[in-house]
Structure 1
């Protein structure tokens, strides 16, 4: 395995040269694009005067170089596979470089590439160097002017960053369009799009009265699927003005959708390029989750206009500065336009399943990493989702108004700059006169903090004491950890289900809520704290980590009775769900241990009664009930155990589900029939909630081996007027004997719709029925599948390897061999996608000895493959070192 040099955060030095202005001219062609760049360069003041100019460049054919108008002889520069160096560079100069590139051969989808006859760019993190030689780093910010020239018939639409300032006709059927971006930006935010596209347009009028054009571009035939994305953009613009006082700053906001994209979307200034998954939606082709995802991702990329573009990151170690902050902003947006409780629970559930596993595995790293080999590998759950939780803790500690003061100061200080996570923290601290020095540890320490909480009730004194001990587990490269600054939100509930007024013996340890409030935020700064609540009328049940006030794990010795009590009475929706989730985790782990002992799975009646009460509680939000009934995922359970047999764990989960279905059949059937009211589809919070509960009832009923249930599933599949209900029925059918007819019907109906076919692939890849891997291998040859398309890889290969633990971890090891084969194959095509798939081996030390041997063998086989990319090499080498 080839060694790749690590880059260290503490080695950062300011750029030796700055670029004031960039003039780019593209003569576009699918196989031979000519790029002319004119760079106005000056040396960075205060740095050594004899420093050479080193420009990054990859896979470029150099045609010419001019310095201040004169051709630069070959003896005046050096070039290798990654750089162009000019040793004797004047303090100020105009550098003109002409390069040629072949977009059609760019299967990595980084830089300028071809997709279905159109041309797109993806420059984050280091894709611009595949377009032209440049100082391709985020702290070099310049003003860009871009002229696009192309055959008008082949590329009638020509888009780039900023404002469209001119266009015209040329010879040989060509045309040109000129774009000027008035705001400085780093090269990773550059974008261009050229092709045969159509647009749905609308207008947003800002609070100051400016009219902003909204244009969503898609391939012909998809225009009827754009309305929701346009509406999402308008909602996001309005929300950002009202919540943070931030208006859009260009004449036009553009979104372009492509089916070939490594990520979800990209926030290029004024020209956001999206994966089609997060743009195209109609009720018959997209699920409620798809509509929700479009709202979230459109908002996320739009919000980057300020948190990422106007203020960007100094270096890639600061990636969470823009991503964690913007994820927090899009989560708050989704909470405000939908159900805040449901949004919070869904975010936490994903964080625990994926980011906590990342924190506990070989790829563990701080929110602000200290080193990396390939920056592409640090677009992680830790940087994004844990980073978002870190930002949320600022808001928890400082309050909503205090957080807004911090944001206002951040923009006032740093608009137009490339800055660090420390600059953001300083703005929050200074705006609120707060001590946030210890809070910096959230950026530098990896691992998920653990809170061990014990309680003591003094009946005579009517005092309740919580003793909280915190610790952070060792992670690769960080054996010892310091205590963190953690906000712990608590309430105390009496036996009637009422929250009690809280008075602390020492009021200085609470940061939120006045004495007597029913909800308090306690600040943890030491390894151990004692919090004593006084003047209580009775022995309470504590509600802990309300609204998930910090990204930590928590241990408290709740009895089963107390968890059932909190499920029924806690007024904090997250804590209510958490009680149900904790009870389910406890039950499933206990029953898995029983299975290992050769005993039968037995679901206690108390657990069934708790679920029965949820089904019968028609006053509770149906979406919250659905989340509470949805048992923890097997991947999450695997993290709670050691030396796991994933197949037996999956069998345990299914046995529990089947017993619950048998016990709760009358309530499940009744609630399903009540919710299956035949109302026409409408995407609204109320309808989404009703469908979510209806379909989880259906999912449980599908566990019953009854012909009546099979007929019910087939009937919902046939009669559904929307993809949410149709897919729910098909998913259940795929996991039962039969269902082949509906699978064939689905494929026949939607063969021409790539995104719907992705759902069809994923259903089969995640099926628990025997022979799933064989079907997946067969589907690799399906006409609708292409291993060069990231969406197809994610829907079939990644879905099997990352979301089907029972079959991926089959005892024969064929799942591991299949994954290794695909990683090696993909690495030669698209290293970013290969590296993400390679994370399926991250937790190989969690499984039993037999499987560990098989997984390590495949890891070593991948590592031994010649010419392994740096992206995949980093993931595999860290996994082997675990």
Structure 2
């Protein structure tokens, strides 16, 4: 892995493939230590033949070439050459069949890319470029072919043999072996190929499509997890039904299979008809899974199913177009989850995630457009920007076109491009044509990085009854893009009077009002909108439903925020007003701590919290969001120079003050949320459980034995994981004897459940207590910690470095040294996970000089490592 291999790939350099593959026939003789793969590939020339035919260059990594035949004849050694990452065949004919036999070792494949071993099974992960670790191939998304796959293996070790498409044949072989033949009639790129073989069990159901076809649904797991699949199966059926109703999309194969795998780099993978999932997004039981786990499973199951049309039937021309499938499918899974759950709460959760992670990405050295201009390692662009900002871009198109116009655009997109590998441009053009709109300026959302800022000012003319709203948009410089053009964006807004009534909106020159909500389309750097027919100065309600992924700068007064928080018709604006109040309070306290002043929480803030707790009309799920303070990572983004210690102290002071001053109200609300019946994940009470957890956390922040006793009592009597973790999390952060008792009780009960023990690791890694670094180091040596397992790495190393701001950024630099050590360990085992762990270092310039120097040294140490993988090299080099 010498650094000379770290070549940069540029979007502008795209060329069509010189050859295409029409059919792929694969034969696997499966064995963990040595699997043999025979591929028969039908090639056709894709360029004009001249005097000098172009060579065929096939991608390949970690392969042993055993045999090479062209049209049935062994290819002479002088006709080809094997290079470090490719197989080159000089001057092949215009049409030919190439037979390649390779040998691979799944058991030693710790990168978890290609074919690898996970526990008792063999499985694949081919996105983005894992197929080249199975056989030599044109491993790019614009080469689509029809696959037929024959699997052979030991029947005792792997009684289940699965691949894409429909099962067409199976049978017995000598010596206790058996085989299965799978055929996928739909053309697909190699990244959607999948194989699973192992000793698995399954549960199944039937789904009748809107045209009357019967489809078999199957969830495959290890025997010990058989009773944890029902929710995933139900979520799959719900997703299939929803896609038919919302988008008219019907499933197209005879069977849809999901397999749960413990060792997996991603969340899940949408391989055609055979989805391979990280087990955390499949397995759930009332005792072992939280309400959030159930919701996440539903969302991820939906996401991978929706890819069948937005990603599989229509795929990406090249990897720069990754958001074509991922951003669009994120939007679709968010809409599905909103329909299945609480739409306002789902929207708030998505915005919180975007602002805490993607806005930070946009503001740092790793900022990149939704459609990147270049990459060294494509795995590094499976990012919040490509996925979640990409989803917001799709949502803006729906806002601009309206729901009906957006559906027409989707229908036109499917009609035009089914079976093709296309660009983002083709998707946006279908939307523009269906809606009769010019979206050429809108394309800047795909090609410009950074988070736009909307600076809003207003003016009131009492004499004419007119109110002028002026919006100026700007976008800060990002790497390679010092100057930005104005975006085309929708700004959804309304106006309230001082009693909180929604006002009819009439723009000057338009005549009669057209409702109480408008979509203002911004296309210029500065624009003014004049509203007429008003009797008093209104309060603007801006960016309703977070209609554009921007930062909003408007000088709301405390009275304005209170009005919006209590009276606005838009749930997002109500929640946002409370968050702005909390942000102002906490950042004021940060300034007090830094200046050495006496820091006190204001009475007005306490009263706003009291109003929330006393309002029994509030939906419990919404109340839980309203009671949750901005997180420390989001607060950090509000500072020019991040001070993690002051942020933590300020936020904890607010929590402790709320817990102390409002203890009676918190206890009353907690009592009202007490369970009245045994837990069911579908009982509609997840909001109550969330509120109960938040109330407990505030009471614990205030201190006192009574709060500790309440948590211990809940921990002992809880019949579900939501309430169990709700009690355990505050205890894990408590400097009290009960801490180790609680953690020990939990571990002893759940030590055999990998998913639950991941939570146990995370709770300790995210404790804000001063001894956390020592505990994390000790947990590295725990028998249950396995650095080869991505979930376990995320639960300890990732949780500490990415979710524990105050302890990771300890002024001693111990946290930085710890993370650097783990990244270098992972570099040799699983470079993709190593690169994902590096993100906290990318923000080093935002901290004080001492912390900057310590983080910079770790980045330099990482870059100096011999044999640094390109995944890690790219992010470390860009960060510096």
**Under TM normalisation by the shorter chain, which class is it?**
over 0.9
Equivalence for 2:21: 19
Q: 1:701 aligns with which of 693, 699, 702?
A: 699
Q: Report how many aligned residue pairs link the two structures.
A: 875
Could you list the runs of 5+ residues in structure 1 that have no partner in the other structure? 509-513
- Separation in 1, partners of 2:297, 2:318: 29
Q: 1:729 aligns with which of 727, 735, 753?
A: 727
Q: Secondary structure at the match of 1:619?
A: coil
**Pair 1:324 & 2:322 matched:** no
Equivalence for 2:153: 150
Equivalence for 2:46: 44
Equivalence for 1:660: 658
1:586 CA drift (Å): 1.3
- Separation in 2, partners of 1:630, 1:134: 50
Deviations 1:542-567 (A, max 9, x none): 10000000111110000111111111
Equivalence for 2:72: 69
Map 1:359-374 → 2, pairs under 5 A? 359-374=362-377
Q: 1:424 aligns with which of 422, 427, 441?
A: 427
Instruction: Tell whether the 8 Å contact from 2:655 to 2:702 is kept in structure 1 after alignment.
Output: no
Equivalence for 1:766: 766
After TM superposition, the score normalised by the length of structure 1 is 0.98
Map 1:715-794 → 2, pairs under 5 A? 715-738=713-736, 739-794=739-794
Deviations 1:304-361 (A, max 9, x none): 0000000000000000000000000000000011100000000000000000000000
Equivalence for 1:261: 264
Instruction: Tell whether the 8 Å contact from 2:732 to 2:764 is kept in structure 1 after alignment.
Output: yes
- Separation in 1, partners of 2:466, 2:667: 46
1:88 CA drift (Å): 1.1
- Separation in 1, partners of 2:182, 2:191: 17
1:662 CA drift (Å): 1.3
Instruction: Provide the aligned C-alpha RMSD in A.
Output: 1.1
1:620 CA drift (Å): 1.2
1:690 CA drift (Å): 1.1
- Separation in 1, partners of 2:214, 2:262: 30
Q: Secondary structure at the match of 1:652?
A: helix
- Separation in 1, partners of 2:400, 2:667: 45
Deviations 1:377-406 (A, max 9, x none): 000000000000000001000000000000
- Separation in 2, partners of 1:794, 1:275: 13
Q: 2:285 aligns with which of 279, 282, 287?
A: 282
Could you list the runs of 5+ residues in structure 2 that have no partner in the other structure? none
1:676 CA drift (Å): 1.1
Q: Secondary structure at the match of 1:64?
A: strand
> How has the CA–CA distance of structure 1 residues 29 and 5 changed in structure 2, closer, same or farther, with 3 Å as cutoff?
same
- Separation in 1, partners of 2:642, 2:436: 49
- Separation in 2, partners of 1:577, 1:6: 43
Instruction: Tell whether the 8 Å contact from 2:768 to 2:806 is kept in structure 1 after alignment.
Output: yes
Deviations 1:220-244 (A, max 9, x none): 1101000000000000000000000
Instruction: Tell whether the 8 Å contact from 2:558 to 2:581 is kept in structure 1 after alignment.
Output: yes
1:506 CA drift (Å): 4.4
> How has the CA–CA distance of structure 1 residues 548 and 507 changed in structure 2, closer, same or farther, with 3 Å as cutoff?
farther
**Pair 1:517 & 2:544 matched:** no
Equivalence for 1:511: none
Instruction: Tell whether the 8 Å contact from 1:601 to 1:656 is kept in structure 2 after alignment.
Output: no
Map 1:671-690 → 2, pairs under 5 A? 671-684=669-682, 686-690=684-688
Q: Secondary structure at the match of 1:703?
A: helix
Equivalence for 2:12: 10
Query: Which shows bigger deviation, 494-503 or 403-412?
Result: 494-503
Equivalence for 1:855: 855
1:677 CA drift (Å): 3.4
- Separation in 1, partners of 2:732, 2:786: 23
Q: Secondary structure at the match of 2:685?
A: helix
Equivalence for 1:611: 609
Equivalence for 1:628: 626
After TM superposition, the score normalised by the length of structure 2 is 0.99
Equivalence for 2:537: 539
1:516 CA drift (Å): 2.5
1:702 CA drift (Å): 1.1
- Separation in 2, partners of 1:680, 1:617: 26
Moved over 3 A (4+): 45-49
Q: Secondary structure at the match of 2:68?
A: strand
Equivalence for 1:803: 803
**Pair 1:240 & 2:243 matched:** yes
- Separation in 2, partners of 1:122, 1:530: 51
- Separation in 2, partners of 1:47, 1:351: 49
- Separation in 1, partners of 2:694, 2:462: 44
Equivalence for 1:877: 877
Q: 2:550 aligns with which of 542, 549, 552?
A: 552
- Separation in 1, partners of 2:387, 2:627: 28
Q: 1:566 aligns with which of 559, 564, 567?
A: 564
Instruction: Tell whether the 8 Å contact from 1:78 to 1:86 is kept in structure 2 after alignment.
Output: yes
- Separation in 2, partners of 1:262, 1:789: 9
- Separation in 1, partners of 2:409, 2:323: 17
**Pair 1:458 & 2:458 matched:** no
Equivalence for 1:215: 218
- Separation in 1, partners of 2:327, 2:443: 15
